[in-house]
Structures are given as C-alpha cells and as structure tokens.
Amino acid sequence: MSKYNFDKVINRFQTDSIRWDKYEPTVIPLWVADMDFLSPPCVLNAMKNRVEHGIFGYTHEPNDFKENIASYLKKHYCWEVETEWIVIIPSVVSALYSIGISCTKSASHIITPQPIYHHLRLAAEQSGRSFNEAQVETIKNRQILSTKSLNKVINNNSELLFFCNPHNPGGTVYTKDELIQIVDFCNKNNLFICSDEIHAGMVLNGHKHIPIASISKAAADRTVTLMSLNKTFNFPGAGLGWMICKNPSLREMASNRIGSLIPHPEIFGYVATNAAIRDGEDWRLALLDYLNQNRKLLIERINQIPGLKIYDIEASYLGWISCEGIPVKDPHQLFLNHGVALQPGYMFNQPDHVRINIATPHSLLNEALDRIETAIKSI
C-alpha cells in the first residue's frame, strides 16, 4: 500500500473549484483537468513555510531555478537543455495564444490537430491568421496526428504547427518514429512547431515521453516546447510553466509579451515547482501507479458498455470516449442527466465524444461508471 492516500475523498466544495462548483453537489464532476488528490507533502510544506513568512512581495526566480529545470529535463527525458533556452511563464495557455501571434505574420497560416485541447484550436482561431485543423487518425486504437492529414491542410502560407504530446484528449504518447515523421514534414514545409508537452510527467505503462525538440538539431531549431509541473503535481491554481527554445530569434519572438501582457509567474508557482522538482519523485511514481489502476478500471468497464468505445490512454488521466455507437445527439447531457459531468466533445469539435477525467479516488470513479452504465441502459 502506498504511503500516499489517493483513496481519500476530499470535499472540494466551497474551495472555488471550477470543476466542483459548476454543477449540483449530487453530480460527480469529471470534466476540467485537475486532480482530486492532495499535492505532494513536499509541495504543501514548501507552500506552508512560505505562507508563514507572511509577506508576498514581487518575486524573482529562485536561485538555480532554470538549472533545476534543466537537470529535471535531463533526468526524465535525457534532454540536454541550456539555461538560456528556458523562459519562465505563468501559464501554458497564455503562451499558446501569444505564440500564435508573435511567431507568425498576418498573412500566415496555422495548423492545429483535431480533436485537440480547445486552447490550441482557439489560439489558432483567435490569432487573426488563417488556420486549418488536421484530423487526428485512429491507428490501432491510438489517436495520432499523421503526415497524411497534415498534407491535406498545408498551404504556401503555413508557418506554424500547434502540436500536443502527450495528446489531449486521449493521452497518446508519440513514439520516436512518429515524431520523426512530424519533424520531417515541418522541415520540408518550413513550419515552426509549438509543442504543448504539459502532460509529459504522467506517462503510463512503460511508455516514454520524447520531447519533439530533442529528436534532431533541425527539430530543436524550429520548436518552442511548453511544459509545466502544474498538472503532474496538481497545483494548476498556482500556475507556472516554461518555454524551451534553442533558436534565439524564434525564442525572442515567442517571448514577446512576457512581462507585459503576460505577467511573470507569482510566488507560489515558483515555490511549488521547485519543491516538486527537488523532492516530488516518490509521490509522482505513486500517483502513476494509482492512475494506472484507474485507467485499467475505466477501460475494462467502458468496453463492457454497449455503444461506447474508448481509445488507448498512454499518459495522464483524460480518457476519450466515443459515443458514436449510441443514438443520442448530446451524450454529455445524457450523462449529466444521470449525475456525471464529463467534458463535452463539442469543446474538441467532436460532439459525439466525451472526455472523462479519472484523477479521482477509485470509489468516485466506480460510482461515476455505474451512472454512465445506467445512462446507457436508459436509452
């Protein structure tokens, strides 16, 4: 038994949680991507110590912060990164939007996968540039952005590809060969890559996260990688992330609004990130073990429900469920009527799907799956 208690159901009502406050208290909310688990003790203690001090003035990066990030990347992904390639940001999402504008010209064209975490699509849509969605293919039950779909949407003005690995929704972890194909495509068509790798710390079941920028020198020269430990160690409300970009001119463009429209991170983002890097590994491994058990439970149970189908989950805690086999227009509403709030597929431009967040105690997940089963029987 783990020394961390992921089974404990912690009341999150009246904590201003976006996820728990939206629906009636009787609904199990498995939509927004945060976890129902306490952050690791090392993060909680570091936060408490900082609160004890009692003054929360403007705060610069802690000493050796970028060195700590660089060693973390080397240890976990065998990725050698120099500290000057790292730019600290308060949020991955705001960087997506600013990169969509700062790293392209007004006549440029942007490509984004589909389905995808909605902010990658919205960052393209709201950039004022033209854009297209490249359909993710299902290959052996994995959701993959392939060069076949990229070729269908590329044009002479294409300048930027938004990419997400591990993929959200669904959690595909791209293999080295799959990444090489994407890099080759971007080299051939001279595209920058903005790679959102925020879920990299939660790769499951012996899969391995490979940062796309680490594939080759050419990949490093055309990629801005976005990462954060918010998701892995469950402190997204104290956000902090970083960009990594080897190419100095691309890095300068990508850093454009930082410190002005994009604020510097706040104090608890630094405190939590440093603590997680320093002392969080034992907790992270226990978390992965727990998520793996939930993943197994989810797949087994969904596969027994007629009309539903689930794609492989190779990372993180966001299952992508196809409801194409049920005669229901709005599956999200059907499940909500039976007391489970899932992320509606229309957020990802695929209304016949729903996304489920399984970062919750086994007991709640089991109850939610019972309700999903009942909802399907009611049709």
Ligand X SMILES: Cc1ncc(COP(=O)(O)O)c(C=O)c1O
Cβ closest to ligand X, residue 35 vs residue 103: 35
Give the nearest distance from C-beta 34 to ligand X in angstroms.
Answer: 8
Task: Decide: 111 and 150 in contact? Cβ < 8 Å.
Answer: yes
Residues forming contacts to ligand X in the complex (CB under 6 A) are: 33, 91-93, 117, 164, 168, 196, 198, 228, 230, 236, 239, 241
Q: 47 Cβ partners below 8 Å, 6+ apart?
A: 238, 268, 271, 272, 275
Among candidate residues 55, 72, 160, 40, the one with its CA nearest the CA of residue 112: 160
User: For residue 247, which phi and psi values (nearest 5 degrees)?
Assistant: -75, 115
Q: Is the dihedral of CA 111, 117, 121, 124 positive or negative?
A: negative
Cα dihedral: 74, 173, 90, 32 (round 10) = -150
Task: Decide: 174 and 125 in contact? Cβ < 8 Å.
Answer: no
Give the nearest distance from C-beta 239 to ligand X in angstroms.
Answer: 5
According to DSSP H, which parts of 89-174 are helical? 92-102, 118-125, 147-153
Give the nearest distance from C-beta 44 to ligand X in angstroms.
Answer: 19
Cβ closest to ligand X, residue 113 vs residue 331: 113
Give the nearest distance from C-beta 317 to ligand X in angstroms.
Answer: 10
Per DSSP, the three-state class of 57 is: coil
Cβ closest to ligand X, residue 276 vs residue 305: 276
Distance CA 309, CA 332 (A): 15
Give the nearest distance from C-beta 90 to ligand X in angstroms.
Answer: 8
Cβ closest to ligand X, residue 12 vs residue 328: 12
Q: Is the dihedral of CA 178, 303, 295, 374 positive or negative?
A: positive
Cβ closest to ligand X, residue 118 vs residue 309: 118
Give the nearest distance from C-beta 98 to ligand X in angstroms.
Answer: 12
- On the 0-12 / 13-18 / 19+ scale of CB atoms within 10 A, 307 is middle
Distance CA 350, CA 339 (A): 22
Enter the DSSP assignment of 258.
B
In sequence order, the β-bridge partners of residue 242 are 88, 227
Distance CA 229, CA 209 (A): 14
Give the nearest distance from C-beta 167 to ligand X in angstroms.
Answer: 8
Cβ closest to ligand X, residue 265 vs residue 339: 265
Distance CA 95, CA 85 (A): 15
Give the nearest distance from C-beta 267 to ligand X in angstroms.
Answer: 16
Cβ closest to ligand X, residue 100 vs residue 239: 239
Give the nearest distance from C-beta 89 to ligand X in angstroms.
Answer: 8
Cβ closest to ligand X, residue 216 vs residue 264: 264
Cβ closest to ligand X, residue 44 vs residue 262: 262
Task: Decide: 100 and 127 in contact? Cβ < 8 Å.
Answer: yes
